[in-house]
Amino acid sequence: MKKILPFTMVALLAMPTLAQKSGKPLLRPRLVVGIVVDQMRYDYLYRYWSKYPAGGFRRLLGEGFSYESCHYNYVPTYTGPGHASVYTGTTPAVHGIIGNNWWVREEGRETYVTEDKTVQPVGGALAAGQMSPRHLLSTTITDELRLATNFQAKTIGVSMKDRGSILPAGHAANAAYWYDGTNGAFVSSTFYQAALPEWVARFNAAGHAAAYLAQPWNTLLPIGEYTESSADDVPWEAAFKGETNPVFPHDLPTLSAGAPAAVTPALKNSGETKAVPAPTQNLDLIRSTPFGNSLTTDFALETLRQEQMGQRGITDFLALSYSCTDYVGHQFGPNSIEAEDTYLRLDRELARLFDALDKQVGKGQALVFLTADHAAAHAVGFAQAHRLPSGGVGPSVIRDSVQHALVRQYGAGQWVLSYENQQVYLNRPLLKKKNIDLGKAQQDVAAALLTLPGVTQALTALDLQRAHWSEGLGMYQENGFYAPRSGDVLTVLAPGWLEAYAFPVVKGTTHGSSGAYDTHVPLLFWGWGVKRGQSSAAVRIVDIAPTLAQFLHIQEPSGCSGVPLREVLGR
């Protein structure tokens, strides 16, 4: 007997799919590789151009598509929010990652962006391992690929920094790995898996980090050729601990000798406490050298090989983030020989990665994008030495000034609970107890902030919730503001000004503002389906995820507010 199908089912079976209509199968790349370079300014692409050989940045630019004017569209421009925004296609106002740390009002304590006390470390120390993407409120493009393939696509995050791995890998990731300096290992948490795969344990046991630190850090090219950078010995660079001056060669074997100051006990995945083997070397030092990026490539290539990524007949996603550029940038500043050397070496690492993709996945078979989680300001000392507008103001100076101003107005009491991410968190229960209107208190804080050097604006949380800005400083603040986690008053510093201590001289630099030096980052696409070319169109970091969704024919992330970039799509 012939089975009678209900009408709707017949209709569905009869309906040709898009692929059948065009006579072609659905095409997707074998692999997507997302590369986030921590603290990479847009101008590094061209500043060191003459010293990049053909295989790294030049290959991306020559064979791929470059958006020359890609900017962040919120503050603060920090690592956690940056990685979250690239992968969710939206801003902190929606994905909730408002900083690397923030004050939790209900608990009266600070939390860390990927902190999760409900999970246990896998392969590393307790402090390094209780991590997950639980604070992230939106799905990521990696989550959406997992959903679109009914969880058959593999998505894995790799970075030295936990937040550079965990946030991009998303909630539904197969794994995320990050570096634990106490044992020099790539570790994970029980959020992903109960134990490290055997190949990861083997990689860790090989002692790569110690081997990299066994040689001094010398410049890749003769030091006299670093004409794009300041002299080696300048007062605004911070020397390594144990070094007299911040100059080459940096004697890593001596500087890394001896155990780090504090080693937290490891808690293995089973929950039983086991001692980490006592380290005889400070393996955390590798973060502040270009060799941490080499170690990251080593581990990424091993991940591709061992997990057969891009070779399984389905699209996989490797979310890779190079963190050491940020540590080096903070310590030495963008105009240092150390920063230049780190980018010249990163360029070689990219060439190594692209070669491996050619061999393992096939030429043109992987879709690659490269961007940064934020850029960076010039070092204050450097800027001032060249008469450029710049300055430093200490965050504790700001916090204490506001606290004292409120004591003068309202009497004794701990009125300021915290100052983080350029935001003042007020003691709301105390204000309520003393019958002081929250809106008035926020206005009083704003007035106090505006008397401080370097502060040009102060927006209150109530202002931000009542008004809408489509451009300018207000837009950056509004996009970075998520009421349940953000502070009561948000500070804006003058261009070139940083939160830093100025005595006797500000060492190194930072990022976090809406200045172009912090928001302008590279955005390069290369490989499968990518049109060759470049565009000077003003695009936003939140446009990356919906563009990837178009390449892959999948849903954009749940909180997505960006739009697909059509020029790169090649169709």
Written as six digits, the tokens of 369 are 């994008």
Least distance in Å: CB of 79 to Zn ion?
Answer: 3
Tell me if residue 510 is catalytic: no
Based on the shown chain and the rule CB under 5 A, indicate whether residue 326 belongs to the binding site for Zn ion: yes
Least distance in Å: CB of 163 to Zn ion?
Answer: 8
From 107-115, 283-291, 308-316, 373-381, span contacting Zn ion (CB under 5 A): 373-381
Nearer to Zn ion, 324 or 367 (CB): 324
Least distance in Å: CB of 215 to Zn ion?
Answer: 26
- CA–CA gap between residue 300 and residue 203 (Å, rounded): 11
Least distance in Å: CB of 511 to Zn ion?
Answer: 6
Instruction: Please name the residues in contact with 180: beta carbons below 8 A apart, sequence gap of 6 or more.
Output: 123, 124, 125, 128, 129, 186, 187
Based on the shown chain and the rule CB under 5 A, indicate whether residue 499 belongs to the binding site for Zn ion: no
Based on the shown chain and the rule CB under 5 A, indicate whether residue 478 belongs to the binding site for Zn ion: no
- CA–CA gap between residue 275 and residue 1 (Å, rounded): 70
**Do 31 and 315 form a contact (C-beta atoms < 8 A)?**
yes
How long, in residues, is the chain? 571
Question: From residue 155, how far is each of 144, 149, 173 by CA, in Å?
Answer: 10, 11, 5
Residues 66-95: x where in contact with Zn ion by CB under 5 A, - otherwise, as a string: -------------x----------------
> Based on the number of CB atoms within 10 Å of its own CB, is 16 exposed (0-12), middle (13-18) or buried (19 or more)?
exposed
Nearer to Zn ion, 341 or 373 (CB): 373
- The one-letter amino acid code at 434 reads K
For Zn ion, the binding residues in 92-131 under the rule CB under 5 A are none
Based on the shown chain and the rule CB under 5 A, indicate whether residue 162 belongs to the binding site for Zn ion: no
Least distance in Å: CB of 97 to Zn ion?
Answer: 12
Residue closest to Zn ion, measured at CB:
79
Nearer to Zn ion, 79 or 230 (CB): 79
Instruction: Please name the residues in contact with 412: beta carbons below 8 A apart, sequence gap of 6 or more.
Output: none
Q: In this structure, how many other beta carbons lie within 10 angstroms of the beta carbon of residue 18?
A: 9
Conformation bin of residue 525: beta by default, left when phi > 0, alpha when psi is -120 to 50:
beta
Based on the shown chain and the rule CB under 5 A, indicate whether residue 373 belongs to the binding site for Zn ion: yes
Nearer to Zn ion, 36 or 402 (CB): 36
Nearest to 39 by CA among 380, 288, 334, 341: 334
- CA–CA gap between residue 125 and residue 237 (Å, rounded): 31
Least distance in Å: CB of 326 to Zn ion?
Answer: 4
Residues in the interface with Zn ion (CB under 5 A) total 4
Residues 27-46: x where in contact with Zn ion by CB under 5 A, - otherwise, as a string: -----------x--------
For Zn ion, the binding residues in 174-233 under the rule CB under 5 A are none
Cross-strand partners of 33: 318, 368
Catalytic residue among 8, 17, 77, 79: 79
- Residues marked active site are found at 79
- Residue ranges binding Zn ion (CB under 5 A): 38, 79, 326, 373
